[in-house]
Every structure is written in C-alpha cells, then in structure tokens.
Amino acid sequence: MAQGTQPTLVRGGRRTPRTVPPRRWPPRGAAPPAAVAAAFTLAQLLLVRPTMGLGWDEIVYVSQAGDAAPAAFFSAPRARGVSLLVWPVASWSSSTALLRVYLAVLSGLGLHLALRAWRGLFPTRVLAGAGAFFATLWVTLFYGPQAMPNLWVAFGALICVGCFLRARAGLLPDRRALWGVFAAAALMAWMRPTDAVWVTVPLLLLAVAGRHRRLGAFLAAGLAAGALEWVVEAYAAYGGLRERLNEASRIQGDLGWNLAVDDQMRSLAGITLCRPCNAEMPYPTVYLWWFALPLLAGYALTLAVRAGRTPRTLLPLACATTAAVPYLFLIGYAAPRFLLPAYALLALPVADALAHLLAPRGRWRPVAAAAVGLALAGHLTVQYVVLERTVARITAARVDWARSAAGLHRLGVRPPCLLTGYDSVPVAYYTGCASGAVSGHNANTTLSAILRTTREVPVGVLSRPGGTPPRHARDWPRHRLAGLDVRVAPAPGAGGPE
C-alpha cells in the first residue's frame, strides 16, 4: 500500500483508498517556538557563566541532593522540588558547570513545552514572540541555569493555563488536556505550593462557576499531588500545616499588607534580593518596559473581546495578576525572580498586541514596525547590560566565598567541621562544613551544642571585617579572610574547651 493512504469501506462494500496526510516533523507551527527555546538554552550558556558558583538559596537546595557538604538548614517556606530536579546531577557530581549546563538544557525544554501547550490558541508568530520576549528578560536568562524554583513555576503556569483552555475548547483529546493540567499543577506545587495556589485561583473559580467538574478535579488533584510531600513534612517537622504556614510567614517578614511595587522596581536593576530594599531607584530606562506590560496586555484584551476570543487572553491575564499579588502587596521585600510566573503569563497577550500593532489583518505597517523595532532594540540592550553587570557582580561574590573556604582549609578547618555566623551557609558549603545558627531565619542549633562540637571537630565563627563576634568566640584567635573575619576555636588540648 502506498504511503499516505489507507483502505476504507464505502457504499456497495467496495474498498477505495482514502488519502491520509503524511506526518510532518516537526509538526506544523512547532519550528519557530522550538527555535526560540533552543536559542534560550544557547544564550544561557553564552551569557551566564556555567562556572558561576552556587548562590545561598541554590546551596540549600543542592546540598539536600548531593554529598559535597552536609545538608544546609531547610526553612519552612521552601519545598523539595528543586532538590529533586537537580538530583540526577548533584547526586553523583559536585561540578557546578555540569549542573549549569544540565539546567540550561532542561529550562530550554521547559520553555518549548510551555509554548507548545498554547498551539491552536494563538498563532505561531505570537507563540514565538511570547517565547522570545520572556526568554530575553535578564531575570529569565539569569535564573535559567540556576537551581531555583520560580522559573519552573512559570513554566508550569503556562502549561497549566494552556491545557486548561485547550480542554475547554476541545483542541486536545480530553484525556491529554486533563493530564496536562494535572502535571503542570503538580509541577508548580512541587516547586512552591503557595505560589501554585495563587496562580490557579482563577482556574479553580472558573472550573466551579462553569461546572467543569472533571477539569477542576484534575487541577485540584495535581495541586494536592505536588504539595503532598510539603504537607506531610509540615506535620512531621512543624506540628501541622497551619504551623508551617505561620513559620513561613514569619521568615518572610509576616505576610500582610506591604506595598512592594517600588521594591520590585528597584530590583529590576539587578538586585537579586532586595531585603531591606533601600537602594536608589534605577534610571527609568531600566523599568519602562515594566509599565508597558499592563498597557499592552489591556490592548490585547480589547482586541480579544472584539474578536470574540476573550477567554484565551483574559485567563492568562487573571492568573498573572493573582500570581503577582503576594509579591507586590503582601511581602515586605523584593526579588525579581518572584514575578517570573507573572511575566510568563503576560508574555502571550503582550506578543499578541505587538503582532497586531505590526501587522493588523495581515497587512504590514512599516512605520509601526520601525517604532516597535527601535523600542525592542533599546529594551534588549538594557536587558543585556543589566544581565552582564549582575553576572559579573554575583560571580565575584561567589569567588570570595571560595577564597574564604580555601583560607579556612589552610587554617585547618576541614570536613568534618562547623561554621556559624555571617554568610556561614554558603562559606560552609564551599568549605565542606556543616552550618549552624542559634537565632534568625536559619536557626538550627544551640550555643551549648556548638560548644560541645568544639571538642570534636574544628569550629569557626564568621563575621564582617571589624564586626563584633558572639561572646563565646571573643577569645578565639582571629584571622582575616576574603571579606570576612573568622575566629577558629582552639583544638582540644590547646587551651580550648575540654
């Protein structure tokens, strides 16, 4: 039988061939988004140094999966999703470069799948444009190869909302769309359960109001499956879910009404954690694009209402809004990565609006194209400058941690060992030591336990240069490291505790 045909019965029982279109690879419309995803991976490898050391939060997640150092204290707000994500590499290799490459490739695949979930809802050019916009933000590129949860919440949000809409519209076989909603909801909750709830509030409300019982059930089941480990750990380690939520709120500065819009604007200049956020406001060129987003999104919604396709534009806008609410109005500090899920969901309406400005009804507008092209060129330039400066600054800071670790080794502080005090979590990881704190967000030990430890292994107390050490370490010998003072407990039998 010739390829592309198959027999079928017609009237009279006669068999006649029915032409079947041959399968295309890649599928029609898949190539541009796939190219954007591949370029995203390549840009990460070129612009974000694979050798850039692990940051504080990354160390907490990676140390749970690897054996380069004892596991760092895991506080209440964190979830185990990132630790499981890096486990295939971190469980057998301590190479930061290998982990960066692995995450860059994986995040490129995540972007591809997220855009693919929206096929049939928006034209291919809009999907490619949305992917390009999101992938060229400095914060997206910076966190693509990092062991952090927010970008994966963003991918999960795109997939979840896209599959939700496709299930309602019948653009996918029912079972595939439902399982897509389930998997994406589980991914978000696996990474950050509270963020997953904020993102899916509009979906849950729509499922209830529209009586989409099966769709709502799959969404709720996905959230429950992803958050199961976090909830079980809440009862095992915190005394219950409410207690863990309260502890998470305390660590994050007691969640409540906190206007953090200006803090987020300051963080756009490359401040990865603005806490306390007392930096100066950056130049307007750094945050102008931020104010263009709601304008373009509103224009896209107007177009969608006129064209009779309101849900596919309104729903991602609603989910982007609920995803951003806690980080704009309920938390007293800022980090640009917090808004990655909102940026990902806004990217689709924004790209749709830009596509209409450039070529309404398929007719190209040269003047509009020139204006939009000039604006995008300026935007990309700003994003690249912020990214380059951020990578350079962060890399230098993490080099200092590595130098401090080398200095501690020369002082005889080698595994097994314990470090406490300022920056003890990252410096301890680089040194191969455990880290401890008797107060603050990372409190996991007591003073008596630290003093007992000095009888068994090397113990060091870190402080800022010229800073006042804790009372129990004031008589310990002081040494100057890279940007740190360290006081090392005398070894037993050398005048130290016995």
Name the residue ranges covered by the structural domains of the chain.
253-358, 399-488
pLDDT > 60? residue 289: yes
**CA torsion sign, 272 to 274 to 275 to 280?**
positive
pLDDT of residue 440: 86
pLDDT of residue 16: 47
Number of other CB atoms surrounding residue 331 within 10 Å: 21
> Which tens digits make up the pLDDT trace of 368-382?
889 989 999 999 999
> Which tens digits make up the pLDDT trace of 20-69?
444 443 445 567 999 999 999 999 999 999 999 999 999 999 999 988 89
Please check whether residue 43 is in contact with residue 140, taking contact to mean a CB–CB distance below 8 angstroms: no
Tell me the mean pLDDT in the region 321-350.
97
pLDDT > 90? residue 345: yes
Tell me the mean pLDDT in the region 244-262.
91
DSSP helix/strand/coil, 184: helix
Tell me the Cα Rg of the chain.
26
pLDDT > 80? residue 5: no
pLDDT of residue 483: 84
Please check whether residue 39 is in contact with residue 47, taking contact to mean a CB–CB distance below 8 angstroms: no
Q: For residues 486 and 89, give the distance between their C-alpha atoms in angstroms, rounded to a whole number.
A: 32
Torsion of Cα atoms, 50 then 55 then 57 then 61, to 10°: 50
Strands of 314-364, DSSP E: none
**CA torsion sign, 71 to 73 to 76 to 78?**
negative
pLDDT > 60? residue 363: yes
DSSP helix/strand/coil, 488: strand
DSSP helix/strand/coil, 111: helix
Q: For residues 467 and 480, give the distance between their C-alpha atoms in angstroms, rounded to a whole number.
A: 12
* pLDDT level of residue 442 (50, 70, 90 thresholds): confident
pLDDT > 50? residue 10: no
* pLDDT level of residue 172 (50, 70, 90 thresholds): low
Query: DSSP code of 258?
Result: B
* pLDDT level of residue 493 (50, 70, 90 thresholds): low
pLDDT of residue 175: 81
pLDDT > 80? residue 7: no
Comparison of pLDDT for 2 and 339, the residue scoring more: 339
pLDDT of residue 497: 40
Burial bucket for residue 399 (CB in 10 Å: 0-12, 13-18, 19+): middle
Tell me the mean pLDDT in the region 258-270.
95
The average confidence (pLDDT) of the chain is 91
Query: DSSP code of 333?
Result: S
> Which tens digits make up the pLDDT trace of 411-440?
999 999 999 999 999 999 999 999 999 988
